[in-house]
Amino acid sequence: MLRASGHAALVRPAQRASGRVLVPGDKSISHRYALLGAIADGPTRISGYSSGADCAATLACLQALGVSVQTPGNGTVAITGRGLHGLEQPRAPLDAANSGTTMRLVAGLLAAHPFRTVIGGDASLSRRPMRRVIEPLTRMGATIAAEDGRPPLTIDGGPLHGITYAPEVPSAQVKSSLLLAGLHATGTTVVIEGAPTRDHTERAFTAFGVTLSRVGLKMEVAGGQRPQGRALAVPGDISGAAFWCVLAAGLPGSRVEIDGVGLNPSRTAVLDVLRRAGAVVETVVNHEDAGEPIGRITISAGEPCSFTVSPTEVPMLIDELPALGALGTLLPEGCTMEVRGAAELRVKESDRISALARGFAAMGADVTEYADGFRIAARPLRGGQVDASGDHRLAMAFAVAACGASGPTAIDGAGVVDVSYPGFFQELERLTSAR
Ligand code: S3P
């Protein structure tokens, strides 16, 4: 039903999806455990580390900063912490590749180290806005140069002092960058969010023995606390799981079980939307690791219906919107899906609003693009030729939508799924060819 070669994939229509699946380690959590391990005292051993290229970029940056990183296999990463303020000046510019999280979080660490570092990335990352971290890190005492507020960043780090800061956009990356910098600062760093975002950094700080106060949307960390290395297991990535959930929700007669997946409440909003869209979703938390709940999602199609994603929900499911767009295309004719308040989608790995609209439309969908979202009026897709636009989540969203089309879909640049989900197309084939 499917042919995937290095950079293009051909996805054929599928009847239903069924089976059990394990997803790669959570990307957000993997970055955080590696970064905290690097600045901790003593060794850190991470199992289930994300197999994606983004998290490999974080490890490569850490190695260039003098951190010993071993990857003995099976998704295990062993890091010898260099302690607070212990990173070394790299000999060459750091490469964050496609990873915004790498760039923004590593910038928080570099801001506190007394040397100059240049950090850049690929063409997509080079278009992404960095003022959101440059401005507060500069206020803390770093000097950061960037043309037009975009990568590459030239960071001259040094002694930092704590600040109180309310980011303009809800962003877990900005919050995390400031909290990591704040660990190295004198005094206290306070981040006041306008809306809640994923809280993995807060949980990871606690797991590494750092005291952090959280009262509502206010996070506070006292500088000078030394993280302590430890062993941790990364849960499966719910953002990768979301594509299987959508496939199951959108193809009648489907049932998919995802085991070992992270069920942190700051990431599960997508499941609430899927329930509103008619899917039958069950979750069971069976254990916790480092403060992160881990369990199973079981999802079957139910009776798909129209749904909207409200602006207040957006920060909690920003990465799942391409998948939810794919669900919009799989709904019965006459149903609609709509999301507003999601202008941030325009500054992700691609302009996800226009690239999604273009791709779904090329497959036969009726899509309306808004400055801050999109609307899909469901009608049968015929398939066609689409471009992943260098964006892993778009490649996966198009692949899921393609399963519901009447004809095949060629996805150009599909190899980009390796950013977060190597093996995605093999799993798609397995889940849609099981009887
Ligand atoms: C992430 C936060 C989100 C998300 C990204 C990962 C993180 O970005 O889109 O994929 O790990 O903190 P923003 O902080 O820019 O919203």
pLDDT surpassing 90 at residue 6: no
From the list 208, 188, 182, 169, the residue with the least C-alpha distance to 29 is 208
> Shortest CA distance to 55 belongs to which of 81, 79, 83?
79
Q: Is 238's C-beta closer than 6 angstroms to any atom of ligand 1?
A: no
Mean pLDDT of 151-170: 98
Q: Which atom of ligand 1 is nearest to the CA of 172?
A: 14
Q: Which of 361, 351, 349 is nearest to 398 (CA)?
A: 361
pLDDT at 192 over 90: yes
List the beta bridge partners of residue 98: none
- Is the pLDDT reported for residue 404 higher than 90? yes
Question: What tens digit of pLDDT does each residue of 310-363 get?
Answer: 999 999 999 999 999 999 999 999 999 999 999 999 999 999 999 999 999 999
Burial label for 12, CB within 10 Å (0-12, 13-18, 19+), is middle
Say how far apart CA 61 and CA 57 lie, in whole Å.
Answer: 6
pLDDT recorded at residue 435: 61
Q: What interhelical angle do 269-276 and 321-330 show, nearest 10?
A: 10
Q: For residue 307, what pLDDT is reported?
A: 98
Judge whether residue 1 has pLDDT over 50.
no
38 alpha carbon – ligand 1 mean position (Å): 21
Q: Give the residue-averaged pLDDT of 115-129.
A: 98
Average pLDDT over residues 183-205: 98
Ligand 1 atom nearest residue 176's Cα: 12
Identify the band that residue 7 occupies on the pLDDT scale cut at 50, 70 and 90. confident
Whether ligand 1 lies within 6 angstroms of the CB of 389 is answered as no
What length is written for the chain?
A: 435
DSSP character at residue 293:
E
> Which residue ranges form the domains of the chain, and what is each CATH number?
2-25+235-432 (3.65.10.10), 27-228 (3.65.10.10)
The finding on whether 50 has its CB within 6 A of some atom of ligand 1 is no
pTM over 0.85: yes
354 C-alpha vs ligand 1 centroid, how far in Å? 19
Instruction: Indicate whether 219 pLDDT > 60.
Output: yes
Active site residue 319: yes
Within 8 A by CB and 6+ apart from 215, the residues are none
Q: Of 319, 387, 391, 418, which one is the catalytic site residue? A: 319
pLDDT at position 4 over 60: no
Q: Ligand 1 centroid vs 333 CA: distance in angstroms?
A: 33
